[in-house]
Chain A
Amino acid sequence: MIRFILKRLGSGLVVLFAVSALTFFLLYISSGSIARNILGDQATPEQLALKEAELGLDQPILARYFRWLVNAFGGDLGASWFTSEPVTSSLATRIPVTMTMVFTAMILIAIIATLIGVAAAVKRGWVDRVVQIGAIIGDSVPGFVIGVLLVTILAIQLGLFPATSTISPGSPPDAWVLSMTLPVIALLINGVTGGAQQIRSAVIKQLERDYVRTLRSRGIGEREILFKHVLRSAAPAGLTVLSLQLIGMLGGVVILEQIFALPGMGPLAVTATSQSDLPVVMGVVMYTVAVVIVVNLLVDLANGWLNPKVRTS
């Protein structure tokens, strides 16, 4: 078990390394005019050269990457080229906002999609049809469009929620709840409709398995069969979908944070990439990829725990 985790963490590190190298060299392509972008059009060639030396841009690319890598291992991701704010500290103020949204949405998706999916699989009939139609509608409208529509209708027209948030890490909980409700709903809808669909088909598939009939023949009640046996075997499919949705959400949340003016990682990512602010972009990319790696590891562990065949071998 420990070997498995170490192995996965090791391959996660390799992925992080590969992604960091790729991102670094990609950003190198556009780093030619950075000094001018920072200092403006009036800057003299001397000032520009000075700035480039200050940022280390006069050094060869490999040396720059190597220095970034060494510093990153020491926990230092550098500072923004434009604002000079250390990357770690600007991430630290923004991560809580983004992750609160993403994980609240994930948990709600897991619960709601499971309930709906199981109901559709067991009851079939009209419940099933409603879920199917819901899935088509949910698939048809992109999350950020749902976000825009929610703000327009619920916040601007009806005034039920604040249209733009005013929260910061120190805000009281009720302000967080009020500001987060709409973006979380916008994140939820696609996830719930897609997830319910997956859970539905996984449950139907399990219900047709031979062992379910044998459990019934042994006098085990329907509810116990459903929630203890069927759901357990259907769960890996659901977890895999959930982890894929999380990856999608880390992107979707960027747009939603723009819409709701939430001080999360989204605005940071948009500004940094449009300025080619290399240290910040590297920080954002590394952090999101690390989250994905950890979540994928957790999903694999959960699937292993659910499936003794994986666990015992």
Chain B
Amino acid sequence: MTESVETSALTPLPGTAGQTGTVVRSHILKRLFKNPLGIIAVGILLTMSLLAVFADVLAPFEENFANISKTLADPDGVNILGTDSAGRDVWSRLLFGARLTLLSALLCAGVAIGIGLPAGLIAGYYAGKFEAMSNWVVSILMSLPGLIVLLTIRAAFGPSVWIAMIAFGILISPSYFRLTRTTVQSVRNELYVDAARVSGLSDLSIITRHIFSVVRAPIIIQTAAIAGVAIAIQSGLEFLGLGDPSKASWGVMLSEGFKNVYLKPQLLFWPAFAMALTIGGLVLLGNAIRDALEDSEKIKHRKKPVVKGTTAAPAKTRAERRSVAAVDVGTEHHLLKVTNLGVGYPQADGSVKKVVDDVSFYVDRGEILGIVGESGSGKSQTAFSILGLLPDNARIVAGSIQFDGNYTVAPGDERVNQGRLSKLRGKRISYIPQEPMSNLDPAFTIGYQLVTPMVRVLGISKAEATKRAMKLLSDVGIVNPKRTFDAYPHEVSGGMAQRVLIAGAISCEPDLVIADEPTTALDVTVQADVLDLIRELQIRLNIGVVLVTHNFGVVADLCDRVVVMQNGRLIEEGPVRDILRNPQETYTQTLLGSMLEGKEPMTMLVSSSPKGAAS
């Protein structure tokens, strides 16, 4: 999907559609041939095609030539795979069968593409009445049992493989229609398509140049699958004896073998093997192309960190100054103590990409610590290692984390101690996420999602938990707790959902709350309310809070102390007032400056103090 974007970025001169197309194809092809399964698949299919094309030359006998004096013979020099019950040569029939099978698969896929692709392009691009009508036709076609319909078609038009395959192509065309339509819909409103439209390209050339290049790869994958299904169906019809009796086919050979299964079961092997091999080749080809596509996307994603790596080089000089910034965690007791933490992700080439490096800080009960940095600075990764909710492939590469004196990450551990943390999570450490809507399970009511953790963690009854949930909802400022309790997540606003998540975070009376950008996804008008709520709850419950944010306004408004992170490292630390008045690092100054130039109303609260310091 994205590979066309990638290549157009790589091609210095975005030329004609044909040029971009060949670049894309060669990329995918190169990757396809690096994958052994891809080579095997192409090898099988190529061999089959060659055997089919040159069947006349390769086959020693006519497909229906019968030597009645030599039936059910074992393989010998003349009939290298033996003969069937009518004395026909198995090898020759296998070759002619390959021709019939591959041609019928091609015909079926061709018909299906010929109908499904244009219909899908039009429906996806223009939507409207045509789409509604096609959807109706699609739902009819998709509720028809294929083989039964083909039997009926045969009753009407006689035993022709070609008619059967045309009919099956029509029946199966919805799969192309749907694929094309969804793909087109997803790019229709992409910026580059808009740009093409604005620059005056006609709809036709937009469709052929931009949209067709996007659907091409999925279409190839789909075709591999559909050709396999077509072969199965065609052979099935032949097996039932409903095909053209004058043609040799794998289905007929299988049925012939099955009739003689007591005399010569070996006859079953070759047609079954040929079918499995061909369909298997198609399946493998589809998988290999999919893998090649996914790889190209992965490589594209990987490009970002590479760029970052180059900018990270001068950060080494900052690292020397880190000793100044690093907190002296010492030996004293803190609620949360992070010491020299490093988090990394193993890469395909065996190296480990560090996203958090040598980070130390502490949090005490009753204080709010801000972790500030731009996206990619490692602040969220730090937060998730405290919660023990890092992705599966993440590794702790250095340092330790202590909660209330106990190690949740002991020095030398590669992973977070889940046994210990699973007892703490929800109960003593809790979490307020960034995006309120995606952090509630859409399938359960808000009430259920508040009550269940309390029942599980505190061991209280459902009735008791319900009562507490109502109280919590009104505590976080929800006017009609009962209605919100009974609502599903999609029925409440984002601000309300965030209040619900805050209620959930404090429901089991934790000691430490990790808030990951708790206001970023909210409307500016709601942000201030939510920040006030966090501050008020923190004071009332006397809890420690780690507030992860990119916004110095939020820090100024809420935090007692702040640590500044850049490229996975901690570069500055101190009481909020000091940092705001007198930031030592240019990076901090930049962050502060961006805040002052920003449009967020939070900045109003501190506008007087840091302005002089920042400039």
Contact = CB atoms under 8 A, between A and B. Distances in A.
Contacts of B406: none
A13 interface: no
B604 interface: no
Tell me whether chain B's interface is mostly helix, strand or loop, or mixed: helix
A159 interface: no
Given A19-B144, A218-B457, A308-B488, A27 B440 contact: no
A308 to B, nearest CB: 4
Interface in B242-288: 242, 254, 258, 261-262, 265, 268, 272, 275-277, 279-280, 283-284, 287
A157 to B, nearest CB: 7
B433 interface: yes
- Most chain B CB atoms below 10 A, which of A30, A210, A211, A244: A211
B258 A229 contact: no
A136 B261 contact: no
Contacts, number: 210
Interface stretch (B151-159, B361-369, B465-473, B564-572): B151-159
A218 B276 contact: no
Interface residues of B, number: 72
A221 B455 CA distance: 12
Nearest to A233: B443
Contacts of A152: 258, 261, 265, 268
B143 A296 contact: yes
A220 interface: yes
A218 B430 contact: yes
Contact of B155 (A209, A244, A274): A274
B279 A141 contact: yes
B142 A247 contact: yes
Given A26-B152, A144-B239, A145-B254, A136 B488 contact: no
A232 interface: yes
A30 B275 CA distance: 32
Given A30-B155, A209-B438, A247-B142, A136 B239 contact: no
Interface residues of A, number: 69
A207 to B, nearest CB: 9
Interface in A139-197: 139-145, 148-149, 151-152, 156-157
Contact of A221 (B140, B441, B456, B504): B456
22 contacts: A140-B276, A141-B272, A142-B235, A145-B235, A148-B268, A148-B272, A152-B261, A214-B431, A216-B425, A220-B453, A247-B144, A251-B150, A255-B240, A258-B240, A259-B258, A274-B242, A292-B145, A293-B143, A296-B143, A306-B443, A309-B442, A309-B488
Interface of B: 139-140, 142-158, 225, 228, 231-233, 235-236, 239-240, 242, 254, 258, 261-262, 265, 268, 272, 275-277, 279-280, 283-284, 287, 387, 389, 422, 425-427, 430-431, 433, 435, 438-445, 452-453, 456-457, 488, 490-491, 501, 504, 508
Interface of A: 15, 18-19, 23, 26-27, 29-30, 136-137, 139-145, 148-149, 151-152, 156-157, 209-211, 213-221, 224, 229, 232-233, 244, 247-248, 250-252, 254-255, 258-259, 269-270, 272-276, 281, 284-285, 288-289, 292-293, 296, 306-309, 312
